[in-house]
Every structure is written in C-alpha cells, then in structure tokens.
C-alpha cells in the first residue's frame, strides 16, 4: 500500500519539489497551500492532490485534516514546511530590523512559521499512523543569528524548541517529530538583495533539500534537529 504524505507550502519552492519527489517515489501525496487556481495548478502538476488551507487558522487546519484523511488511505508522513520571511523578497534588507516589529510582517511571520506548525501538528497528530512521522522545515536561523530578519530567526528557534520538547511524547506513541535546519535554498522566499550579493552556489537546489527532508522523515529518533550534508546520507544531527 502506498504511504500517505502531507506537505504544506506545496505550491512553491521546497514544498513543491518535495511533493514531486514523494509522488515519484510512489507515495500518495496531499499538497496543502493557500487557496487559488495558480497554487492548485502548481500542486497538481506534481501529481499530488490539492487541499486549500491557510495554515495560520486552526479551523482551516481541522477542515484540511479531514479532507486529507479522506484522500489518503493513511497519514504516514507529514511535512510542516510552509513558511515566510518578514519582508517581501523585493524589499531592502539594510533597513532597521528593530523597526520592522511594527509591521504586519511581524505578526504574519509568527502566524505562518509558528502557528502553522503547531496548529498543523495539533490537527494531524490524532490522525497520524501508528509509526508515522512529522518533519518540520526549520532553518539554520533556528541555530544562530539572522540579523536582517530577527523575527524569522525567532520563529525558527520557536519551532525547534517545540520539536525538541515533543520528541519523547511522540516516541512514547511509536511516532516521531523532527526538524531539518537548511541554509539557503534557491526559492522565492530568498530576499533579492541577498541573492544578488552572494554566489549562486550559496543556494541549494530545492530537490536536494527535499531529499534531506525525506531522510529526516525516515530517521529513527524523535525530537531531533538535522542539517544537510554533501554525502550520501543527506543529513547529520545537530547536537
């Protein structure tokens, strides 16, 4: 029987590459993203089924969880991957980051990156298969400083703490929750000024990071953070 997978943020970047990789491996995949014909077409182009959900809303999450459950035989692997940065990609990154806290962007980055993960895990944990796993896309910003976007860094530290704290709870049920902390990936979220100031090789192809997310989902521990490697293992633990 095909494994059932759920990927949030599946209309773009890393989530889209991950949905395609999972479909290519023979998994049944539900791709979650904000409503919209373009996003639906992007998700469906991977071979995944589309479920619209604003991950910042727990009500949306409960509805989406029921829809995903009806589309999949079982929910075996969940990737809580949707995320945003505080500024839009085209905004400068050399403005005062302290002043950014008054912007809507501050609330939004916490809503998507923190509520989106916690509400997703809350809605999906009761439906997760007996040996199922949840994998969160964190960031190297969960492990250190990101001076141009301290709010983004705070959200990634928050979800890293959530994952580490729930590791034993999931393990006691035979399930797992872990996070991957990637560095730069070549996707739309990357600020334009950052992209143009750094060598293109700074940003990994989404496909490579998607492989690492699958490796995390198949790893044996729970409550662990991982980074990417360049070897065949794809991932290494952050201790």
Which residue's CB is nearer to ligand NAD, number 56 or number 222? 56
Residues that bind ligand NAD (CB under 6 A): 8-9, 11-15, 33-34, 53-56, 81-84, 112, 137, 139, 182, 184-185, 187-190
β-strands 128-137, 75-80: how paired?
parallel
In whole angstroms, how close is the CB of 27 to ligand NAD at the nearest point?
Answer: 19
Of all helices (H) and strands (E), which one includes residue 206?
Answer: helix 206-217
In whole angstroms, how close is the CB of 174 to ligand NAD at the nearest point?
Answer: 27
In whole angstroms, how close is the CB of 32 to ligand NAD at the nearest point?
Answer: 6
Residue 94 in contact with residue 34, Cβ under 8 Å? no
Q: Is 152 a catalytic residue?
A: yes
Catalytic residue among 106, 151, 152, 226: 152
In whole angstroms, how close is the CB of 159 to ligand NAD at the nearest point?
Answer: 9
Which residue's CB is nearer to ligand NAD, number 83 or number 132? 83
Which residue's CB is nearer to ligand NAD, number 34 or number 93? 34
Which residue's CB is nearer to ligand NAD, number 21 or number 82? 82
Which residue's CB is nearer to ligand NAD, number 2 or number 62? 62
Distance CA(210)–CA(7), nearest Å, equals 11
Just list the catalytic residues: 152
């Amino acid at each position: 029987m095909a494994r059932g997978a759920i990927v949030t943020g599946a209309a773009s970047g890393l989530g889209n590459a991950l949905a395609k990789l999972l479909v290519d491996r023979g998994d049944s995949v539900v791709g979650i993203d904000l409503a919209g014909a373009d996003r639906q077409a992007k998700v469906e182009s991977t071979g995944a089924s589309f479920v619209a959900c604003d991950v910042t809303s727990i009500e949306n999450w409960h509805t989406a969880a029921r829809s995903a459950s009806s589309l999949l035989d079982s929910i075996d692997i969940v990737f809580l991957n949707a995320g945003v940065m505080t500024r839009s990609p085209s905004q400068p990154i050399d403005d005062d980051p302290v002043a950014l806290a008054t912007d809507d962007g501050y609330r939004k980055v916490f809503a998507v990156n923190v509520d989106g993960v916690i509400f997703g895990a809350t809605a999906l944990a009761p439906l997760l298969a007996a040996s199922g796993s949840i994998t969160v896309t964190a960031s190297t910003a969960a492990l250190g400083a990101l001076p141009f976007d301290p709010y983004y860094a705070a959200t990634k530290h928050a979800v890293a703490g959530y994952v580490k704290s729930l590791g034993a709870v999931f393990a006691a049920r035979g399930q797992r929750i872990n996070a991957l902390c990637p560095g730069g990936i070549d996707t739309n979220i990357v600020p334009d000024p950052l992209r143009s100031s750094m060598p293109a090789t700074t940003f990994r192809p989404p496909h490579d990071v998607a492989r690492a997310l699958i490796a995390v989902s198949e790893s044996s521990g729970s409550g662990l953070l991982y980074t990417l490697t360049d070897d065949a293992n794809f991932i290494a633990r952050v201790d």
